[in-house]
């Protein structure tokens, strides 16, 4: 039972994160890889604030505030750089932030991390936390559903098809991109907060490059602008590596096998997506 | 006569910074070459550098083969990995899906870095036991692997500049970079050019991986740290400007190295965040690259 509750909690966390990456990467065609950084910002901010004795509601606000700030910085870089340059820059930010986490011992605990993160009083057990995450995920999915049906959602879909045509209709493609980047950053920050509460321990291996690949795989698999795709994709990507638990492998290589599965899956998905794009290439 | 200590320290740190800069230059040039012919930021090079270095470790330390055989074996490993990297990216590159190709190369690097610990374990490996030999120049000293990197880097930068600006190969490279459709119509076989560049870049990356192994220890995740600095240099210098890439490679290496070496209380692990800060400032001021006059289009 505990295993199922744990997997459900992870699933809801993934959903919260994936809504943002789905909107940015799959729907908008913006290769925003900084979600992995804002995820870490959210989780570390809530842990550090709680450790400093700040109340839980203030800690949450601080963590969301920092994620928002991270999102604003990413949006600023998006405005300045080309799509390719932005994607590369965001990957670089993941490495740089990882180095900051490892180096800033006095604040982040360095490679040892932060232990004993206290859960909030309104979700003291894993079950109650899972229910809280489920409610949050449902609300966020509803928000995504509304966004996809709204003029902004249509602008986002148009952004992926052709930013130039979007500009021609009088809607700034860069502004649409910046808004969705900020939104995705806040959502990944929230996902980081609940993730830190679930694990109650943080170190630089939480998030980072591996999480970037995971989030990217979820977003790319959920290619259609429909919420059922993001639900299915999150469940698939989360449960796929679970099969290695039932294989006779030494536990020391579990993490590497999981990395390998996601990496290979990502390569396969990209090739599939490439063929799909080529078949329906628009010739405007 | 002994030098005044601050000057001596500055000089010694500068030597190490130049070695680090040359190391970055090697990988940045490899990234640049691939970018030139395919417009893809090939993040796999970090993973390839690690895998080739481990290939050398396998032949040199585990199997104790003669050096010539080790070099041949390592070259074959690098060429095979370069070819796989090319094969994974080629279809995407031909369709102008550069970001997809970048993600594929990233995933390829990750899969390499996942396989290495399964084969060799995740602990650090040494290519060399004992004390690294150093060359003494007056009051300064340079470790031999560092000197090889430094001399190799200068030669590579000069040769690359000459080939790029003054030879038919360079003209073809520039033609593919400028307009691949026109280059194709002129009979330039782009696919073959890309294959050669991917393999060449893999060999350069592998060489840096091995030299890095002689300087310090091999770890399965060292590749990302190596390539992170190189693609910062590519971003800061401007992905289409060779001069910019060369200057930026030293800029992103020398400044953090001087800060870490001369400022007290800043540990070496802050190098990458400092580089990132330099990149942010540089990209905000000159998003098109250090020396580029035109707006960057990709």
Which residues in chain A are contacts of B271 at CB distance < 8 A?
A: 99
Q: Which of residues 105-164 of A touch B (CB under 8 A)?
A: none
Q: Best mutation site among A26, A107, A174, A260 for testing chain B: the one with the most B CBs within 10 Å?
A: A260
CA B33 to chain centre: 11
What is the pLDDT, as a whole number, of residue A224?
83
Angstrom distance (rounded) from CA B287 to CA B265: 32
Q: Give pLDDT tens digits along chain B (298 positions).
A: 556 777 888 888 888 888 888 888 888 989 988 998 888 889 899 999 999 999 999 999 999 999 999 999 999 999 999 999 999 999 999 888 888 898 899 999 999 999 999 999 888 888 877 777 788 877 788 888 788 888 887 887 788 888 888 888 888 888 888 887 888 888 888 899 899 999 999 999 998 888 888 877 889 888 877 788 888 888 888 877 888 888 898 898 888 888 888 877 778 788 888 988 988 888 888 888 888 765 554 4
Which residues in chain A are contacts of B108 at CB distance < 8 A?
A: 263, 267
Return the SS3 of A115. Answer: strand
Which residues, in sequence order, are CB contacts of A161 under 8 Å at separation 6+? A29, A282
Angstrom distance (rounded) from CA B274 to CA B106: 23
Query: Residue B141 — φ and ψ, nearest 5°?
Result: -130, 145
Beta bridge mates, B134: B143
What is the pLDDT, as a whole number, of residue B227?
84
Whether A206 and chain B come into contact, CB under 8 Å, resolves to: no
pTM as predicted: 0.86
**pLDDT tens by residue, A153-198:** 999 999 988 899 999 999 999 999 999 999 999 999 999 999 999 9
- Of all residues in chain A, the percent with pLDDT exceeding 70 is 97
Angstrom distance (rounded) from CA B183 to CA B193: 12
Which residues in chain A are contacts of B111 at CB distance < 8 A?
A: 259-260, 263-264, 267
Which residues in chain B are contacts of A102 at CB distance < 8 A?
A: 269
| A264/B107 touch (CB, cutoff 8 Å), yes or no | yes
A268 to chain B: nearest residue by CA? B104
Beta bridge mates, B142: B135
What is the pLDDT, as a whole number, of residue A284?
45
Give one word for B97, left, alpha or beta, with left for phi > 0 and alpha for psi -120 to 50: beta
| B273/A103 touch (CB, cutoff 8 Å), yes or no | yes
- Answer yes or no: are the C-beta atoms of B26 and B204 closer than 8 Å: yes
DSSP one-letter code for B60: I
Nearest to B108 among A82, A216, A267 (CB): A267
Return the SS3 of A275. Answer: helix
* DSSP state string for B106-151: HHHHHHHHHHHHHHH-SS-B-S--SPPPEEEETTEEEEHHHHHHHH
Q: Euclidean distance between the first and final Cα of chain A, in Å?
A: 54
Q: What number of C-beta contacts closer than 8 Å exist between A and B?
A: 124
ipTM: 0.85
| A263/B41 touch (CB, cutoff 8 Å), yes or no | no
Q: How does A29-48 read in b/e, with b if 16+ C-beta sit within 10 Å?
A: bbbbbbbbbbbbbbbbbbbb
Detail the DSSP E strand segments found in chain B. 134-137, 140-143
Closest chain A C-alpha to B4 CA, distance in angstroms: 32
| A93/B270 touch (CB, cutoff 8 Å), yes or no | no
Angstrom distance (rounded) from CA A106 to CA A67: 21
Return the SS3 of A22. Answer: helix
Which residues in chain A land under pLDDT 50? 283-284
Whether A262 and chain B come into contact, CB under 8 Å, resolves to: yes
Which residues in chain A are contacts of B272 at CB distance < 8 A?
A: 95-96, 99
| B287/A263 touch (CB, cutoff 8 Å), yes or no | no
What is the pLDDT, as a whole number, of residue A271?
87
Closest chain B C-alpha to A177 CA, distance in angstroms: 17
């Amino acid at each position: 039972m505990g295993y199922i509750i744990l997997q459900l909690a992870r699933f809801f966390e993934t959903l919260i994160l994936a809504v943002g990456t789905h909107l940015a990467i799959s729907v908008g065609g913006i290769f925003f890889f900084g979600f992995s950084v804002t995820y870490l910002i959210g989780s570390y901010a809530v842990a550090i604030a709680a450790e400093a004795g700040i109340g839980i509601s203030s800690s949450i606000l601080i963590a969301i505030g920092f994620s928002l700030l991270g999102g604003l910085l990413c949006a600023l870089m998006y405005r300045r750089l080309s799509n390719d340059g932005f994607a590369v820059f965001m990957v670089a930010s993941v490495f740089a932030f990882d180095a900051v986490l490892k180096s800033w011992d006095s604040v982040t605990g360095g490679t040892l991390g932060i232990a004993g993160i206290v859960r909030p009083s309104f979700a003291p057990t894993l079950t109650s936390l899972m229910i809280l995450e489920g409610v949050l995920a449902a609300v966020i999915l509803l928000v995504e559903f509304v966004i996809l049906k709204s003029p902004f959602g249509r602008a986002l879909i148009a952004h992926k098809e052709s930013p130039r045509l979007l500009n021609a209709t009088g809607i700034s493609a860069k502004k649409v991109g910046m808004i969705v980047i900020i939104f995705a950053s806040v959502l990944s920050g929230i996902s980081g907060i609940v993730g830190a509460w679930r694990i109650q321990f943080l170190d630089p291996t939480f998030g980072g490059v591996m999480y970037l690949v995971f989030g990217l795989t979820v977003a790319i698999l959920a290619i259609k602008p429909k919420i059922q795709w993001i639900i299915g994709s999150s469940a698939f990507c989360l449960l796929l590596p679970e099969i290695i638990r039932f294989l006779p492998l030494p536990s020391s290589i579990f993490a590497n096998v999981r990395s390998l599965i996601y990496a290979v899956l990502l390569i396969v998905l990209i090739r599939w997506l490439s063929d799909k794009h080529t078949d329906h290439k628009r010739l405007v | 006569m002994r030098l005044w200590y601050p000057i001596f320290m500055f000089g010694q740190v500068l030597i190490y910074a130049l070695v680090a800069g040359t190391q970055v230059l090697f990988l940045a040039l490899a990234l640049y070459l691939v970018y030139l012919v395919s417009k893809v930021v090939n993040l796999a090079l970090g993973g390839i550098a690690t895998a080739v270095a481990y290939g050398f470790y396998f032949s040199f330390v585990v199997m104790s083969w003669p050096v010539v055989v080790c070099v041949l074996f390592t070259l074959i490993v690098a060429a095979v990995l370069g070819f796989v990297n090319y094969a994974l990216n080629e279809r995407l590159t031909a369709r102008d899906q550069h970001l997809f190709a970048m993600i594929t190369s990233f995933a390829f690097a990750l899969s390499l870095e996942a396989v290495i610990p399964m084969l060799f374990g995740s602990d650090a490996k040494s290519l060399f036991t004992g004390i690294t030999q150093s060359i003494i120049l007056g009051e300064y000293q340079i470790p031999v692997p560092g000197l090889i990197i430094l001399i190799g880097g200068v030669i590579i930068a000069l040769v690359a500049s000459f080939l790029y600006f003054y030879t038919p190969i360079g003209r073809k490279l520039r033609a593919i970079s400028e307009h691949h459709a026109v280059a194709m119509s002129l009979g330039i076989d782009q696919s073959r050019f890309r294959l050669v560049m991917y393999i060449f870049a893999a060999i350069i990356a592998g060489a840096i991986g091995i030299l890095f192994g002689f300087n310090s220890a091999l770890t399965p995740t060292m590749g990302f740290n190596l390539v992170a600095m190189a693609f910062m240099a590519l971003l800061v210098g401007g992905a289409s400007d060779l001069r910019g890439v060369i200057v930026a490679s030293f800029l992103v290496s020398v400044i953090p190295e001087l800060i870490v070496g001369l400022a007290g209380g800043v540990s070496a692990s802050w190098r990458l965040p400092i580089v990132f800060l330099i990149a942010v400032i540089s990209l905000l001021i000159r998003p098109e690259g250090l020396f580029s006059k035109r707006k960057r289009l990709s």
